[in-house]
Amino acid sequence: MIALFFLFATAIYRPAQPTVGDLVTIEYSEPVTVKPSPDYEIVSRTPTRVVVRTFEPRPITVHSTGADVVIGIKSVLAPNDALKPAPMQPPREVPPSRNAWIAIAIAAACAALTWLFVWLRKPAKEVVIEPLVSADIRFRKAVQAAARAPRRWAALADATREYLAATYPRLGVELTTEELLARSGGLTAALRGILRQGDLEKFSPWGAEAADFNAAAERALELIVVPEEVAA
């Protein structure tokens, strides 16, 4: 820090030996007005302080109403520098390290132990064995539920299809109505009306036709007494 004494004001600037590009702060003992100059750039200023800088390695004179401050600016280059860039050095090869693999192995082991701990603490799940219900009993309950369903014809047709698939292996639920009727043999008369009404309710924009649902449900239940042997 250097103090400069003048007749009207005292000026102190820092750093004491600034170099090119350094911010030089000048403190005045009383308010002054710093005059701009092409020799330096005024970065900031207050009535008693100004910050300047320059990018030329030569003395500058900061003019103000209170005092003129002469500041020597030094170059950052060495004397007689040829301004040639330093030769580039090849990148250094990093020696192989096993630390990363060791860390991964430790993390994997911790994860495995955590899962093992959670699995051992998990209570055994109770196995609920539902009683075996015969196909005909399930069918009777499904027919009763179909009568209360919003789309009762579709529900009755689905219940009938499921019963036939459970009773006769060749009458699977994946069959279309025509395929099922073609394979049902003697069951065709009882099935045709039920399946047709179910298809209309599922796929027709007008829904099922007007028909006696209760009578159709009774005919569906009559399928239970049909012999197991079905004509191909």
Intervals of the chain under pLDDT 50: 3, 5-7, 227-232
Length of the chain, in residues: 232
- Tell me the per-residue pLDDT of 188-200, one tens digit each, with 9 for 90 and over: 666 888 888 888 8
Q: What is the pLDDT of residue 126?
A: 59
- Residues forming a β-bridge with 74: 19
Greatest distance between any 2 Cα atoms in the chain = 131
Residue 101: count other Cβ atoms within 10 Å of its Cβ.
9
First to last CA, the chain: 113
Token digits of residue 200: 């209309």
Give 167's contacts (C-beta < 8 A, 6+ positions apart).
Answer: 135, 228
- Tell me the per-residue pLDDT of 126-165, one tens digit each, with 9 for 90 and over: 555 556 778 888 989 999 998 899 999 999 999 988 988 8
